[in-house]
Every structure is written in C-alpha cells, then in structure tokens.
Amino acid sequence: MSIQTENISKLVERRNNAKMGGGQKRIDAQHEKGKYTARERIAMLLDKGSFEEYDMFVQHRCTNFGMEKSHYDGDGVVTGCGTINGRLVYIYAQDFTVSGGSLSITMAQKICKVMDMAIQNGAPCIGLNDSGGARIQEGIDALAGYGELFERNILASGVIPQISGIFGPCAGGAVYSPALTDFTLMVKNTSYMFLTGPAVVKSVTGEQVTQEELGGASVHASKSGVAHFAADTEEDGILKIKTLLSFLPQNNLEEAPKVPTEDSVSRVDDLLNEIIPDNPNKPYDMYYIIRSIVDDHNFFEVHQDYAKNIIVGFAHMNGRSVGIVANQPKILAGVLDINASRKAARFVRFCDAFNIPLVTLVDVPGFLCGTQQEYGAIIVNGAKLLYAYGEATVPKVTVTLRKSYGGAHIVMSCKQLRGDINYAWPSANIAVMGADGAVNVLYSKDMKTAEEPEEKKRIFEEKKKEYDDLFSNPYQAAQKGYIDDVIEPRNTRFRVIRALEQLQGKRQEIPAKKHDNLPL
C-alpha cells in the first residue's frame, strides 16, 4: 500500500469515527429517548447530498479535570452549510452524544465561524440546540464562548433570518442565543428551556416543579411566549422550519421568493358579506377571513398558542409573501393586552426588517383595562406595537372590519402611522369608544337629572342613535381621508392584492440615526 493510499484510508476512517460522535452506545441512548442525533437532524432538514461540513476535526484544548484524556473530533457540534429547497442556509447542530453537547470555547468558535459566513454571504442561519449548557471544566473559556456566540446573534439580527430549534435541553446562559434569534421552535416532551433547573428552584424558593412544567415546549409556547412553535415530534419540527423558510428572504437586501399559484387574484367569497354579526358584541372567527383572502387558503401561523386575542403569521398573496396581523374577536373580544401587543410588535418588526409587506385586519375594541395590565406596563407594551407600525417602511395595507376604537385604533396600523392603503368594510366603526360608553360620558348629567327611568332610557337610546349615525360606520373617517376606500367584503382579496401590487416599488426611509430607542 502506498503512503498516499494509506493516508486516504486514515482520512476515511477518521471521518467515519467523527460521524459517530460519542459512539454507538450514546447514539442508542439518544434514540431510546425518542431523539435523533445531530447528523440525523441535519439530514432531515437539508436537501439530500447538499451538506458541506466544516471543522469536522476540531478538538477541545482543555486540560482541566482530566479532559486531556478524552477527545472527540468535532467537539460536540456539527457545523456547515447546505440547501433547503435549493436555497443556501448555514447550520449548526449540537451533538448530545459528545459531553452532553456542552459548549467549549472551540465548539463556540465552530458555531461563530458559520454564523460569520452566514452574515457575509447573506443566508439564513439555523441552530439546532441539544446541550447541557456550558462545559464546566472549561470555566471562563466556556462563558467567553457564549459571549462570542451572543454577539454574533446580535450582529446578525435584522441582516439574516435566524432560527433556533430546541431539540433537547437548553439551560442556563445557553437560552439567550435562541432568545436573540428571530424564531424559536421546541419539541414537546423532549425539549426544555430555563435559566435555572428544578433543583435550583426548589433550593432557592422551595417550589417543586418538573422540567416540563418549568420550561417545556407547551409552557413556552402558551405562557411565556419564548417559543414561537411547539412541534409534536422532531420530524414535525423539521417540517415547520422548512415551511417557515419558504416565506422568508435570504437576507435583508432581498425579497422572499415568489411562489406560483393558480388561485385567482379576483376570487371572491360571498360569505364575507355576511360574516360580521348584527350584534356588535357577538364574536366571529378571524381565521376564516384570513384563509379566505390568502393564496390557496394557506396560512402559516406564528405564536399560535400565545396571546390568542391577536393572530400573526405568514401567507402568500398572488404568490408574494406577506405578514398577517389580525385581532381575534373570539378571544377576549380581540382586545389588545400586554402579551398581544408584544407578540404583534415583534412580528411587525421582523417583517419590516426583511422586506415582507404587512396586511392588518382590524377588529379591536380597545386595550384591556385593570390593575394587572397597568402594573404590568400595558402603556409601554402597547407603545411597542405603536412604535413597530410607525417605524415600518414596508408596504402596509390595513382593512378595518368592525370595531376600531380609541388608542387601539391608532396602534393597529392607522393612516397616521404611515399606513399606505387603509380600507374599511361597511360594518366598520371607527371612533374614540363604543356608543354605550360614549353616551354615558357625554350625557351623564342629562341622565342623572332625568326623574323617571323611562326618561333616562329615552335619552340614552336617542343619544346612542345619534352617536351611531355619526360614528358607527366608516364614512366619517372616509370623508376625512383617513380611510382610502370602503370596500365590499367579498372583494377583499382582490383589493388587498391590487394594493400590494401598487406598493411594490415603495421607497420610504426613516431619519438617519445610530439606532432607535424602542420602548422596552
């Protein structure tokens, strides 16, 4: 055997060993937990044969606590690039079979390298997390590694899409990388995120809680809002990441790819003419309206289980990607509260950063009142959504379906927040408040002085009708130019798409600044 042949054989053998991570026994243990390995996840996510791996032979340099006796090529993370549906992405996947996927300084350097390449080459970066946290044996080096990683997350924000998939443990400082990315997906029953685990919580507060109760997928998808998606299985999670990417551009200088559709632009839905109940206090389902107006009735929701009184997500309209924001009358009457405001603001800012037009469907009675909301800073949180819409320079098309009252009217992409095209249905009510509340404020003195209950009722009904005639319709707003047109509901798809086509060449800038000071 020649030296060259021998060298090649050693290379092949070393590559095969590296691909085994921590060895077959640990791979089997991973499978027994219902989890895939890092390489298996990458294979599921990327187009077949497209993965180009970097730094396969990197090893840690730690000599503390006997670490010099144990080395694995790759050092607990698989990094590289590949394609998803033919589009370039950069990826890293932590390998739990090697030191529990714990982060070393060399592992951090591998991740930072692909993140730098993603920023430089303008492609999304996907991180698949499955790690026990910082490698304790490395001390400050491991912490420095996290710092380097977080800095890359910050620099990449608004430049390239960043997606985090949590496919196992993610605890301590490790949680801040997913928190800094654009979207976080968790897998039910096998992934969790928290700063301090159940044992620490019990020792400090005395509270007994399981890992799932403290930081499982369902908790973060419905209560904290940390997770944008909760997948039933890893396969489901991988599919969700692929679907999400189909709506996104490669970077902030490009537009999302156009998707061919046979769904007619002029398709109408006669049921929309009847969907708004005669009783203004009766709910209806906003999901029907969303699916009615988007291409092929296909809506990809974000934060589905969190702050359900507002709906956000992606769709295509005439093949172009759009971000949908809509109040949900079925939940809390569609009122805006702290969580709904934060949820929508974050989504609006993402769409603006990546050139995705915004379509806003409005039916909002106001902001939720009460001490809990005020003490929780509903003022500042509501201002986040206000700020996000006012700052956004992407095309913005707003359709007011029914209620649009008070400060909530302003917040939901009104004309004064540089809304480009603002439509209203004939059922729209645009006012400071609803008729009942307005009459009680404006004519409280008259009703107090009324001697008979019948007289009080007569005054109330008379003034309510007067108020309704004036404001319980979209025409006063239209007369003043705050509404560009009152449209027939059945034609909403056509009118919104035509508005978006008109706005394709929109150019709008904000004053030069180092950065804004978003209310936090």
DSSP character string of 113-174: HHHHHHHHHT--EEEEE---SB-GGGTHHHHHHHHHHHHHHHHHTTTS-EEEEE-SEEEGGG
Residue 392, judged by CB atoms within 10 A of its CB (0-12, 13-18, 19+), counts as buried
What pLDDT does residue 100 have? 78
Could you tell me the CA-to-CA distances from 202 to 23, 175, 191, 314 in Å, in that order? 35, 20, 21, 41
Question: Torsion over CA of 63, 64, 69 and 74, rounded to 10 degrees?
Answer: -70
What pLDDT does residue 342 have? 97
Distance CA 215, CA 195 (A): 9
Catalytic site residue from 43, 407, 437, 450: 407
What pLDDT does residue 257 have? 95
What pLDDT does residue 164 have? 97
Catalytic site residue from 134, 217, 408, 478: 408
Residues sharing a CB contact under 8 Å with residue 358, sequence separation 6 or more, in sequence order = 322, 323, 325, 348, 351, 352, 389, 392, 394, 395, 396, 397, 413
407 is catalytic: yes
In this prediction the pTM is 0.93
What's the one-letter identity of residue 418? R
DSSP-derived 3-state class of residue 338 = helix
pLDDT by residue (tens digit) across 215-226? 999 999 999 999
Residue 3: how many CB atoms within 10 A of its CB? 7
Catalytic site residue from 21, 165, 168, 172: 172
Which region holds residue 77: left if phi is over 0, alpha if psi is between -120 and 50, else beta? beta
pLDDT by residue (tens digit) across 15-57? 888 788 788 998 999 999 999 999 999 999 999 999 999 988 7
DSSP summary character for residue 250: S
Residue 500, token pair as written in the block: 């978006």
Residues sharing a CB contact under 8 Å with residue 364, sequence separation 6 or more, in sequence order = 327, 334, 335, 336, 403, 404, 405, 408, 409, 412
172 is catalytic: yes
Run of H or E including 364:
strand 358-364
**Backbone angles phi and psi of 428, in degrees to 5:** -70, 140
Distance CA 465, CA 477 (A): 18
Distance CA 458, CA 479 (A): 30
Per DSSP, what are the bridge partners of residue 336?
Answer: 367
Task: Please list the pLDDT of the chain residue by residue as tens digits (520 residues).
Answer: 688 888 888 888 888 887 887 889 989 999 999 999 999 999 999 999 999 999 887 776 766 766 666 777 778 899 999 999 999 999 999 999 887 778 888 999 999 999 999 999 999 999 999 988 877 677 788 889 899 999 999 999 999 999 999 999 998 888 999 999 999 999 999 999 998 888 888 889 989 999 898 999 999 999 999 999 999 999 999 999 999 999 999 999 999 999 999 999 999 999 999 999 999 899 999 999 999 999 999 999 999 999 999 999 999 999 999 999 999 999 999 999 999 999 999 999 999 999 999 999 999 999 999 999 999 999 999 999 999 999 999 999 999 999 999 999 999 999 999 999 999 999 999 988 777 777 777 766 766 676 677 767 776 777 777 777 777 789 999 999 999 999 999 999 999 999 999 999 999 988 999 999 999 8
CA neighbours closer than 13 Å in the CB half-sphere of residue 128: 31
Contact 249, 355 (CB under 8 A): yes
22 is catalytic: no
What's the one-letter identity of residue 170? C
Instruction: Give the helix ranges, DSSP H, for 46-90.
Output: none
The owner of tokens 């949180």 is: 381
Distance CA 395, CA 409 (A): 19
What pLDDT does residue 446 have? 64
What's the one-letter identity of residue 186? M
What's the one-letter identity of residue 211? Q
**Backbone angles phi and psi of 154, in degrees to 5:** -70, -45
What pLDDT does residue 171 have? 86
What pLDDT does residue 395 have? 98
Residues in the chain: 520
Residue 334, token pair as written in the block: 């569609």
